[in-house]
Each structure stands twice: as C-alpha cells, then as structure tokens.
C-alpha cells in the first residue's frame, strides 16, 4: 500500500464556546481531544482511516473548508470514499478563476455531493470597494488583508459557526509558515478542534494519491499554478520558486497567509 493511501460594518466574533466534556464516558476536555487526535492520526495508515478516527472522536458537526486546490480535492475524495458525515463547503470570493468554478461543478458530479457555497456579505464588499477601490488590495499589505477579511475570513467564520471540528487540507511542506502544522489542535478563536489530516504528506504523496484515484483537479495546476486563489491575486510560478510564490506576488515571500489560518490584523471600518 502506498504511503499516500496511508496515511465595513463589524461582524460577530467566532463563537467562543467549547465542546462539552463528555463526563458520562470519561472523555477528556476539548484540548485533550485535540491532543489525542494529534498523536493518533500520524499512526493511521490511510486518509480514510484518519477521517474515521476524527468522526469517532468529535461529537457534533465537522466542517471541511475546501479551496478546490490539489490538497482539498484529495480530501474530498477521501471524505466521499469513507462515507464520513462531513459538512463540505467552499468560499466564493466573487473573484475566482472560471476554471475553479468548473472544478467545483465537476467534483459535485463525480462524487455525488453538494458542496455548500458561502459568499461574502454584499454590504461589506461594497463598503470595502468604496473605500479602497476595485483593485485597492495591491496598494498595501493592510489593504490586501482587509480584502481577505471581507471576502474570506468573515464568510469562513459564518460557515464554521456551531461546528465542533474543522478539517483543512494544509500540509507542512506547503510553506515555511506551515512547516509545524499539527494533525490536530484546539482552535480557541473558533471554539472547535482544527484538524489537518494530510499534514505530513509530501507533494509526491499528494500527486500519487490524485493520480491513482483519478481525482478531478483544476486545469490551472498543469499551467504552473500550484496554489490557486483569487484571479487578481494569483499568477503562475517560475521554475524553482516556492509553491506559494504566485500568491500576492507583489508582497514579500514571508507571511503569505490570507487570515483563514491565522488571526487577521486588518479591519474594515467603512
């Protein structure tokens, strides 16, 4: 068996409540559940068995936020193959490549699942554009993070509201900022357990899994786009460049996150 088959107007803050301690069964509190999963997942052989362990450990809704990139397409395949009861959603920022939306449709047809599409608040977007301009995100890091805040972070917070677990496709090899990504951790900001089931996969692992299972992927990956975000903020990478060098390429390489996986500093007060 292969290794990869083995294993604005302000908005409400994310809920602060934690998972309930299951005292009737002697289960540990939430942070300890996350710690247990972090230790357990690396020892499991397949993505499907990792997903089964996650579902068995977390009581309540488990949500998977998909960007429709390579990692998340592999995750979607694993979810469909395992039959795990996972709430799958994606954020439509209003600025996706057409190929990204085609990938969404192809995935729904392939796996017979309905991916929940979450949009930004129209009023927030209008206030942002009125203040910064239609392409104002290129004027400063602060402006770009404010755009990500409105188009990504706030919709994500809404989508995760009430969830007990949050699945992502983050891998340690993706960037320096993600090199220490755990399999699972307690996310106090959202009040849930955040799980990264393929954190230890290499790019070769990922590509092998996709090839073996003939998983539908965004055609832009074959055109030099290893990491695909909004169209105005993503370019193809050059040979030898970091795989995230094409994201917000006008900024320094360090710290290229949109705020989905770290607490954003930008605020929109318009």
> Residue 192 in contact with residue 19, Cβ under 8 Å?
yes
What is the Cα–Cα distance from 197 to 166, expressed in whole angstroms?
11
What is the Cα–Cα distance from 74 to 2, expressed in whole angstroms?
15
Paired residues of 232 in beta bridges? none
> Residue 121 in contact with residue 11, Cβ under 8 Å?
yes
Please list, residue by residue across 52-74, b when 16 or more beta carbons sit within 10 angstroms of its beta carbon and e when fewer do.
Answer: ebbbebbeebbbbbbbbbbbbbb
Catalytic position from the list 147, 148, 230, 258: 258
What is the Cα–Cα distance from 229 to 239, expressed in whole angstroms?
19
What is the Cα–Cα distance from 177 to 186, expressed in whole angstroms?
18
* Residue 148 designated active-site: no
User: In this structure, what is the dihedral angle of CA atoms 94, 154, 69, 3, given to the nearest 10 degrees?
Assistant: -170
Q: Is 96 helix (H, G, I), strand (E, B) or coil?
A: strand
Catalytic residues: 258
């Amino acid at each position: 068996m292969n290794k990869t088959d083995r294993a604005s107007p302000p908005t409400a803050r994310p809920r602060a409540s934690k998972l309930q301690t299951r005292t009737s069964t002697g289960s540990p509190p939430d942070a300890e559940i996350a710690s247990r999963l972090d230790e357990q997942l690396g020892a499991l052989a397949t993505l499907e068995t990792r997903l089964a362990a996650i579902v068995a450990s977390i009581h309540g809704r488990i949500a998977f936020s998909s960007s429709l990139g390579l990692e998340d397409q592999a995750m979607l395949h694993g979810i469909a193959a395992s039959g795990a009861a996972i709430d799958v959603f994606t954020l439509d920022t209003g600025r996706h490549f057409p190929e990204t939306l085609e990938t969404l449709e192809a995935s729904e047809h392939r796996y017979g699942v309905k991916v929940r599409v979450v949009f930004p608040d129209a009023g927030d977007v209008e206030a942002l554009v009125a203040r910064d301009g239609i392409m104002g995100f290129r004027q400063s890091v602060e402006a770009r993070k404010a755009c990500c805040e409105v188009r990504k972070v706030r919709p994500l917070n809404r989508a995760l509201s009430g969830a007990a677990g949050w699945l992502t496709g983050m891998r340690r090899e993706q960037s320096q900022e993600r090199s220490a990504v755990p399999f699972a951790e307690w996310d106090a900001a959202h009040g849930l357990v955040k799980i990264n089931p393929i954190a230890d996969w290499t790019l070769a692992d990922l590509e092998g899994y996709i090839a073996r299972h003939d998983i539908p992927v965004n055609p832009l990956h074959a055109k030099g786009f290893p990491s695909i975000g909004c169209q105005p903020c993503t370019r193809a990478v050059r040979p030898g460049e970091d795989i995230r060098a094409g994201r917000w390429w006008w900024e320094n390489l360090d710290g290229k996150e949109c705020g989905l996986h770290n607490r954003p500093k930008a605020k929109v007060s318009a």
